[in-house]
Amino acid sequence: MTEPVVTAHQHVLVTGGAGFVGATLVRRLAGSGHSVRVFDNYSTGNPAYLDGVDAELVEGDIRDAGALDAALAGIESIIHLAAAGSVVMSVADPVMNFEANVVGTFRVLDAARRAGLERVVLASTGGALIGDAVPPVNEFSLPRPISPYGASKLAGEGYAHAFAKSFGLRTVALRFANVYGPWSAHKKGAMTVFFRALHSGQPIVIYGDGTSSRDYTHVDDISHALLLALEGDVPGGTVLHIASGVETTITELAGLCRNAAGKPDHPVEYQPSRVGEVDRNFATYDLAKQVLGYTPAISREDGIARTWQWYREHVFRS
């Protein structure tokens, strides 16, 4: 593990900072003494997620080079979270996914280059980028994305590495596992869908036979890894998996959600698999532990219970 290089606060731009991960990350950054400016077009994020947080909010689109240039005034580093994050939507509209994720990431990197910034930390993905591979995957697994979303994140990593080597920009791409936790009610991931079914009394719908698996990592652990990547002495072009290291099948996830809600016998319905989704996936975080000192701190049982409680208090109040 390398020692952090940051001894004083930084001025950090967080793209997509009013979204799911951003809502937790911006709080952590501000609490750690960093000055934060959020840049978000609010297509999926919500400025209300950051009510009461010490952060400047700027509305804009990452594909708008002029708006990015203006937002980078006085900024030293970027954490790039803004993205079109749905595998299913990327299959339905690959052009939109390309423009948001590939063009958008290029614009962010190029704006950082023009502004002479020192570092960009990028949100990438593990399972969707690697594709179908025997888990656990790691940084040496050969990428074979099977969805436009996975391909777009691979392209972003490629540009980040190229900008590191061509322009000296210190880029760090973090391949997130499946993130869950507070501020995720607008997302379309399995846990959100399961919680809504549990609340409404509708059956939990599982696509496939229930054996497909993912690595579910709490947003607090993801945000901690992002902070470590911002502050650590990490070489440009680095790629790291940020995960829990635990494989959870979709049937197991449904059981964990039912138990958290106190409804262990809630009905489950199985439907055919969907195109573009990886069958099995979980990742090792060994390299992130070595490079960043990252270790996940929240178990899936505790994290899912805490997330259900957040949904009860903030989403299912009425």
- Report, as residue numbers or ranges, the catalytic residues: 149
Using N-to-C axis directions, what is the helix angle for 219-231 and 20-31, rounded to 10°? 50
Q: Which two tokens stand for residue 269?
A: 């319905």
Can you tell me the distance from the alpha carbon of 114 to that of 128, in angstroms, rounded to the nearest whole number? 31
Alpha-carbon span 33 to 8, nearest angstrom: 8
CB 52 within 8 A of CB 75: no
Alpha-carbon separation of residue 149 from 63, 77, 213, 220 (angstroms): 17, 25, 18, 24
Give dist(CA 17, CA 78) in Å, integer. Answer: 11
CA gap 164, 235 in Å, rounded: 9
Q: How far apart are CA 98 and CA 81, in angstroms?
A: 15
- Please state at what angle helix 300-314 crosses helix 250-260, rounded to 10 degrees: 60
